Amino acid sequence: MFSRALWARQIAPLRRQAIAPFASRRSVTTDAASAHAEDIPQEDDKPFTVRLSDESFETYEIDPPPYTLQTTKRELKKMYHDLVSIRRMEMAADRLYKEKKIRGFCHLSTGQEAVAVGIEHAITKDDKLITAYRCHGFALMRGGTVKAIIGELLGRREGIAYGKGGSMHMFAPNFFGGNGIVGAQVPVGAGLAFAQQYSGEQTATVALYGDGAANQGQVFEAYNMAKLWNLPIIFGCENNKYGMGTSAARASALTDYYQRGQYIPGLKINGMDVLAIKAAVQYGRDYTVSGKGPLVYEYVTYRYGGHSMSDPGTTYRSREEIQRMRSTHDAIAGLKQKLLDWEVVTDEELKAIDKDARSSVDEEVAEAEKMALPDPTSRILFEDIYVRGSEPRWMRGRSVDETFYY
């Protein structure tokens, strides 16, 4: 009826892969310093043109974005400041976790900062963003403060979700989390985009997920609805090459995630170059807001650390691979080199930005650490159940004597 030999034969490729993992084809560059610019103006706010590497994008059924990007010195400096701030904040989370001050699950985005920063610099505050659990950087970019984010990790009342959510559950205005269930945020993103379309807003939704999440059925259900109803959404796969310990090639029959929308145009983007990301998302936003329908983006990036704090991140990939990405493809180092090459800043000025970003993050982290622990009282359980003003008179507690009166 069912022959084991047949099964073994069919599964043979799987066995081969188990022995010799093959590197997935990644033909866009991940060089973080591949853009060019000349004739930089003196003034901070005077626009000038940056030329992106022609290996910044790969397209699927769509023309590439312009390979030029209008920017200013002020913006470049802000981008750099943002990148450094996220990394510094993630490092603080790393330390606090190792000091056992942060409990629970904690996923850092170290290495992937350019995605959060590039997207934020391309969209408006009215656009919507939703992502998975690797969300600290996005929460910061969308307007969360370091203090509230670290406070959340520490389980403090002043945390961004009152300390009730922890690492994976951070919300901010027009930022819909922070979602723990892999893939579940993608159809939710389609719903956000539908509401934007329905209410006639000229805005878009950016819905992010990982290369592992890309295999969840509901991602494809969301694609279909978005195309069917022409929703203003940019689906975005943050391809950091691994879903926990499984490499993209071992989990995905097609690792070109930007082509997985089939009937939806797609773009593969150098996810280590914040400028390429900004150019792509700006272009995609205009495209989708103008009613042309959804897009599927793939940001080719890399996570330096383990999947979460409990994963050393070295059992399923080589130390050399990590080292190579860190030392030659780093988004922060790449932009830094450009800022100096283009003489956007002097050495001194750059050091000052670095210092400012680090010390303001450090200060806020220190403040968060000083926040009081929540009172060990069950009254906290009765909060956040009803919209203020709509509560019933009382709510039953764990026992009759614990009845809580609003």
Partner 1 sequence: MFPSRTVVRSFPRWFSASSASSGSARLNVPIDYKTTPLLHHTPSSLATSLEFPRSASTKRLNLYQSINAALRTALSTSEKVILFGEDVAFGGVFRCSMDLQTEFGSERVFNTPLTEQGIVGFAIGAAAEGMRPVAEIQFADYVFPAFDQVVNEAAKFRYREGTTGANVGGLVVRMPCGAVGHGALYHTQSPESLFSHVPGVRVVMPRSPSQAKGLLLSAILECNDPVIFMEPKVLYRAAVEHVPIESYTIPLSKAEVIKLGKHLTVISYGQPLYLCSAAIAAAEKAMNGVEIELIDLRTIYPWDRPTILESVKKTGRAVVVHESMVNYGVGAEVAATIQAGAFLRLEAPVKRVAGWSTHTGLSYEPFILPDVTRIYDAIQQTLEY
Please tell me whether residue 165 binds partner 1 under the rule CB under 8 A: yes
User: Could you tell me the smallest distance in angstroms from the CB atom of residue 89 to ligand TPP?
Assistant: 17
Q: Which of 113, 127, 211, 330 binds ligand TPP (CB under 6 A)?
A: 211
Q: Which of 211, 256, 298, 364 binds Mg ion (CB under 5 A)?
A: 211
The amino acid occupying position 383 is E
| Edge-first strand listing for the sheet containing 205-210 | 57-60, 266-270, 295-300, 233-239, 205-210, 128-130
- In the shown chain, the binding pattern of residues 122 to 141 toward ligand TPP, with x for contact by CB under 6 A and - for none, equals ------------x-------
Give the DSSP H or E segment for 13.
helix 12-19
Of 75 and 298, nearer to ligand TPP (C-beta) is 298
Of 127 and 211, nearer to Mg ion (C-beta) is 211
| CA–CA gap between residue 41 and residue 48 (Å, rounded) | 7
Half-sphere exposure of 175 (CA within 13 A, CB side): 28
Please tell me whether residue 212 binds ligand TPP under the rule CB under 6 A: yes
User: Could you tell me the smallest distance in angstroms from the CB atom of residue 249 to ligand TPP?
Assistant: 12
Give the DSSP H or E segment for 390.
none
Please tell me whether residue 243 binds Mg ion under the rule CB under 5 A: yes
End-to-end Cα, the chain, rounded Å? 66
Please tell me whether residue 210 binds ligand TPP under the rule CB under 6 A: yes
User: Could you tell me the smallest distance in angstroms from the CB atom of residue 173 to partner 1?
Assistant: 22
| CA–CA gap between residue 323 and residue 213 (Å, rounded) | 25
Q: Which of residues 304-323 bind Mg ion (CB under 5 A)?
A: none
User: Could you tell me the smallest distance in angstroms from the CB atom of residue 346 to Mg ion?
Assistant: 38
Query: Which of 228, 208, 236, 229 has the alpha carbon at shortest distance from 295?
Result: 236
| CA–CA gap between residue 331 and residue 355 (Å, rounded) | 18
Which residues lie across from 51 on neighbouring strands? 36, 68
Please tell me whether residue 243 binds ligand TPP under the rule CB under 6 A: yes
Contact between 128 and 205 under an 8 Å Cβ cutoff? The reply is: yes
Please tell me whether residue 242 binds ligand TPP under the rule CB under 6 A: yes
Of 359 and 378, nearer to partner 1 (C-beta) is 378
Of 246 and 337, nearer to partner 1 (C-beta) is 246
Please tell me whether residue 15 binds partner 1 under the rule CB under 8 A: yes
Please tell me whether residue 183 binds Mg ion under the rule CB under 5 A: no
Please tell me whether residue 405 binds partner 1 under the rule CB under 8 A: no
| 8-state DSSP, 288 | I
134 binds, among ligand TPP, Mg ion, partner 1, none (CB under 5 to 8 A by kind): ligand TPP
Q: Which of 53, 85, 205, 252 binds partner 1 (CB under 8 A)?
A: 252
Half-sphere exposure of 189 (CA within 13 A, CB side): 36
Q: Which of residues 166-195 bind ligand TPP (CB under 6 A)?
A: 180-182
Q: Which of 8, 228, 352, 366 binds partner 1 (CB under 8 A)?
A: 8
Of 110 and 282, nearer to ligand TPP (C-beta) is 110
The amino acid occupying position 263 is Y
Strands 36-37 and 295-300, how do they pair? Answer: unpaired
How many positions of this chain bind ligand TPP (CB under 6 A)? 15
User: Could you tell me the smallest distance in angstroms from the CB atom of residue 20 to ligand TPP?
Assistant: 22
Cα→Cα distances 94→47, 101, 106, 167, 238, Å: 38, 10, 9, 12, 21
Query: Which of 74, 104, 106 has the alpha carbon at shortest distance from 308?
Result: 106
Give the DSSP H or E segment for 51.
strand 48-51
Q: Which of residues 359-378 bind partner 1 (CB under 8 A)?
A: 374, 378
- Backbone φ and ψ of 49, nearest 5°: -110, 130
| 8-state DSSP, 202 | S
Provide the binding-site residues for partner 1, judged by CB under 8 A. 1-2, 4, 7-8, 11, 14-15, 18, 103-105, 155, 162-166, 168-169, 180-184, 212-213, 215-218, 243-246, 250-252, 315-316, 374, 378, 380-381, 385, 398-399
Provide the binding-site residues for ligand TPP, judged by CB under 6 A. 134, 180-182, 209-213, 238, 240, 242-244, 307
